[in-house]
């Protein structure tokens, strides 16, 4: 069995090889190479990105014993240079090696077995077979992992026969179904030996740093979220950028930021309650004025308002003057709105009349009983809508 170049040297970024097969899968062209530096998806590690010559490789997967490179456009058979997106690969190597170290320390110190691993775009996670984790345990786990990062432990991969593998005590979630032939082991010197086909760093020192972020209960176990390597710096930079914006907005320091923000939110909630009370009072007053107006058809337009005040006014009017029919409209920052309202004694089909009004106002809406509401495309045909209501009354 030929060992692919990405496994022989995870730091190799370019390779002269040959396109031996091309094809199309679900409309996307692909190529199979004699060898490759691009890692196919597997073991929780995403596929690499790269290029065949000038053609971008967008996905790499193992299919029926071959490694398919899915491409932005088709390529021809023959010699080609395959290049690796090194920044993406190195990030994956940092996260993957950190996962090996994190899983090993969690197992050795606490007896927590890792049941799955997911390397995400911004953060990664492992699932541990423990129902809960205390804050003090998380702090200890992080410190123990970082101690091994500082120790600069060598990380080495090797292959051995199935018989040799069976004789070893190796941490593993099991070999893939139907696996045959040699078994690949990845060893962190003095810390861990585990089966893995992915790409890894040469030393734990290259992990640089690791930060445990959060835990989440799931299926009787616990999911642990974390970042490592360059992601720690990027996360810190993003947090600091947001914190700087918040400091400017609230005109305060980091130390007082939460307290100041909480106080402002409470004042905002108080203002919201006051505004709702004022709106209810205004709706009651408007309904009283409309109830006292002459004629069965009444109307009003509210500039700078919205649908909420219209609905409240319509409901109160239907209660105060059950014989009246009303067209209420409003224009505000969020658009133009209308409500057709009728009390129980009005004797009209509000839904049918409302659809007619919606059509005249180039809008749409819905409702039944005493109220039909909607959003208008334009209120320029408001006089025609009023005339339609008058025709209904007769």
pLDDT of residue 171: 67
Mean pLDDT per block of 10 residues along the chain (394 residues) reads 89 96 93 96 91 96 93 95 97 97 96 94 95 96 98 94 74 59 89 92 97 93 97 96 93 92 94 93 94 91 90 92 92 92 87 91 87 92 90 78
Q: How many CB atoms lie within 10 A of CB 198?
A: 24
Structure token pair of residue 268: 């905002």
**Res 333: pLDDT:** 87
| Other residues' Cβ atoms within 10 Å of the Cβ of residue 53 | 13
Query: Which pLDDT score is estimated for 283?
Result: 93
Domain 5-84 has CATH 2.40.30.130: yes
- Identify the pLDDT of residue 180: 65
Element (H, E) at 256: none
pLDDT of residue 394: 67
Cβ–Cβ under 8 Å, residues 138 and 132: no
> Strand 50-52 vs strand 28-33: parallel, antiparallel, or unpaired?
unpaired
**For domain 90-236, which architecture applies?**
2-Layer Sandwich (3.30)
Whole-number pLDDT of residue 173: 54
Q: Where are the domains of the chain?
A: 5-84, 90-236, 279-393
Q: What local confidence, expressed as pLDDT, does residue 248 receive?
A: 94
pLDDT at position 223: 97
pLDDT at site 172: 60
DSSP class of residue 107? I
- Three-state DSSP state, 11: coil
- For 311, the 3-state DSSP assignment is helix
Answer for the pair 350, 333: CB distance below 8 angstroms, yes or no.
no
Q: Considering only CA atoms, give the Rg of the chain.
A: 34
Q: Report helix, strand and coil shares of the chain as percent, to nearest 5.
A: 40, 30, 30
User: Is domain 279-393 classified as CATH 3.10.310.40?
Assistant: yes
Give the containing element (helix H, strand E) for 307: helix 307-320
């Amino acid at each position: 069995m030929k060992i692919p170049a990405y496994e022989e040297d995870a730091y190799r970024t370019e390779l002269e090889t040959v396109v031996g097969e091309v094809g199309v899968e679900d409309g996307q062209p692909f190529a199979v190479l004699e060898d490759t530096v691009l890692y196919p998806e597997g073991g929780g590690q995403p596929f690499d990105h790269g290029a065949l010559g000038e053609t971008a490789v967008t996905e790499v997967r193992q299919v029926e014993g071959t490694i398919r490179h899915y491409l932005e456009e088709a390529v021809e058979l023959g010699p080609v240079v395959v290049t690796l997106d090194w920044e993406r690969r190195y990030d994956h190597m940092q996260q993957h090696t950190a996962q090996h170290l994190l899983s090993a320390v969690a197992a050795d110190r606490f007896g927590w077995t890792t049941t799955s691993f997911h390397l995400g775009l911004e953060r990664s996670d492992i699932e541990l077979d423990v129902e809960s984790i205390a804050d003090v345990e998380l702090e200890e786990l992080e410190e123990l992992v970082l101690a091994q990062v500082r120790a600069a432990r060598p990380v080495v991969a090797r292959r051995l026969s199935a018989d040799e593998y069976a004789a070893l005590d190796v941490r593993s979630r099991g070999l893939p179904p139907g696996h045959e032939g040699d078994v690949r082991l990845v060893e962190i010197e003095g810390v861990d030996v585990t089966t893995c086909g992915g790409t890894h760093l040469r030393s734990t020192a290259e992990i640089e740093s690791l930060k445990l972020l959060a835990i989440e209960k799931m299926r009787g176990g616990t999911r642990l979220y974390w970042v490592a390597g360059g992601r720690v710096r990027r996360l810190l930079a993003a947090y600091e950028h947001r914190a700087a914006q918040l400091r400017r907005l609230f005109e305060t320091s980091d130390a007082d930021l939460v307290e100041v923000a909480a106080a402002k939110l409470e004042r905002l909630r108080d203002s919201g309650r006051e505004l709702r009370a004022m709106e209810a009072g205004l709706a009651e007053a408007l309904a009283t004025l409309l109830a006292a107006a002459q004629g069965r058809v009444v109307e009003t337009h509210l500039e700078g308002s919205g649908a909420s005040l219209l609905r409240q006014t319509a409901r109160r009017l239907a209660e105060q003057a059950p014989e009246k029919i009303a067209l209420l409209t409003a224009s505000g920052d969020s658009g133009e709105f209308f409500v057709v309202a009728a009390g129980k004694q009005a004797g009209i089909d509000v839904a049918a009349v409302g659809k007619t009004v919606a059509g005249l106002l180039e809008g749409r809406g819905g409702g039944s009983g005493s109220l039909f509401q909607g959003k208008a495309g334009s209120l320029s045909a408001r006089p025609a809508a009023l005339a339609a209501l008058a025709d209904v009354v007769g």
